Chain A
């Protein structure tokens, strides 16, 4: 049975764009609902989000959406209007671009780029430009401080994020995300190939590093100094209301969704589960990937709702003095083992 249909490149492009355009807001909503509203309410005993609509507060998300839509669109008098309006779009654009290379099945990938993982990390670094634009154009000193913190943090944690993936890249011998999944599916741990070789087992250090660095890239607690609501009143987003704020919200949770998907692809075998191949994998793939990324996202949000915020200097010394050396040692050991075995 062939799943492939004969369609022109224009239609293909339209379908691909549509898929990416739906996945990100959908993913952001799923993460926002499951984790931000429900899990946080359970973990921190919050009663509000459990109330609307009766059963388990299911109406809360709809209510939030309606609230955002009817809010007044405010622009500060001193704001740099064009930059102010463009900033949320830049943040969301970077989120959309990441998703183009994440494979969801043997044939289900929007663009099977040869430099896959490198591309994903490169475009994810674009969001900081949007954050800086937002912080500066708001003409508000809290927003500006937050943008500066954000830039310093994102630059510091981009390195451990890259270094964490290098171990996987060495093991798989490719940058292509699809081939990384296949390397895990067909791999073997010391000769035993029962479940392939999910890199979380052999690259556990890399997995931990990746999650810590991703947490910082996403500005999630304990690395949320850029948005620290108790001192900077939510930072670079402070002047944004209504629909523009919603963009930042989608950007934040959409990027969390994308990073969880990348972590699931790099370390948990992506769309593949043992014993499923061919067309079946194309059908099951998206669901398998979704289950895995939800597991990763659960870890990320668990940390977010549990730990207090770090201080700015603690954050910087953690990145430069702990994470980067660990990342380099991990690369060294992986390289030696790759050549030796």
Chain B
């Protein structure tokens, strides 16, 4: 059991450091690259919880597509190449720090209150729960209505993007 704890804390520290890097770095591209580390850490946490399928979905969607879109957007609009370009900074860092601490406090209190005493039993059942078969049948049997609603929402967003991008 303590093996998981050690790995969890190693990952958590790395993710925390990278998350600080995201907001601290003065280069947008560096921020996005730190974000990659955070997202990869989240994927590793999923694996630690035996949710293998979700972990690789995280890698494929977030690192393979979302981050690439971020980088694409940053490079297309204001590509701060080289060392002397305008660096990012913000006057409101103290206010941002207070807000971040507040959110951290509220989330911690909520999570501890909701799941504080619960234990996860690592075993074959947990692994079976995270398998693609289990997730597939949950998605298409139990949660079919929310799933379809989300699909419609995404489709509407897609059509909206096409309408807005059309020139004629």
- Chain B interface size band reads 20 to 34
Residues in B lying within 8 Å of A, measured CB to CB: 27, 29-30, 33, 36, 52-53, 56-57, 59-60, 63-65, 67-69, 71-72, 75-76, 79, 81-83, 131-132
Given contacts A128-B64, A129-B63, list 7 more A-B pairs with CB under 8 A: A78-B82, A80-B82, A118-B53, A123-B59, A132-B71, A147-B75, A152-B72
Chain A residue contacts of B75, Cβ below 8 A? 132, 135-136, 144, 147-148
Subset of 26 A-B contacts with CB under 8 Å? A80-B27, A80-B82, A115-B53, A115-B56, A118-B53, A118-B60, A118-B132, A121-B60, A122-B57, A122-B64, A125-B64, A126-B59, A128-B64, A129-B64, A129-B68, A132-B68, A132-B75, A136-B29, A136-B81, A139-B81, A140-B81, A144-B75, A147-B75, A151-B68, A152-B72, A175-B132
What residues of A have a CB within 8 angstroms of the CB of B131 in the complex?
Answer: 114
**Chain A residues closer than 8 Å to B64, beta-carbon distance:** 122, 125-126, 128-129, 158
Q: Does A133 contact B (CB under 8 A)?
A: yes
Inter-chain contact count A-B, CB under 8 Å? 81
Chain A residue numbers with a CB within 8 Å of B79 are 136, 144
Listed in ascending order, the chain A residues whose CB lies under 8 Å from chain B are: 78-80, 83, 113-115, 118-119, 121-123, 125-126, 128-129, 132-133, 135-136, 139-140, 144, 147-148, 151-152, 154-155, 158, 175
Main secondary structure of the interface of B (DSSP, over half): helix
**How close is B162's CB to chain A, nearest CB, in angstroms?**
11
Among candidates A114, A133, A148, A152, residue contacting B132 with C-beta atoms closer than 8 Å: A114
Contact of B81 among A122, A133, A144, A152 (CB under 8 A): A144
Shortest CB–CB separation between residue A232 and chain B, in angstroms?
15
- Checking A79, A133, A155 against B65 with a beta-carbon cut-off of 8 angstroms, the contacting residue is A155
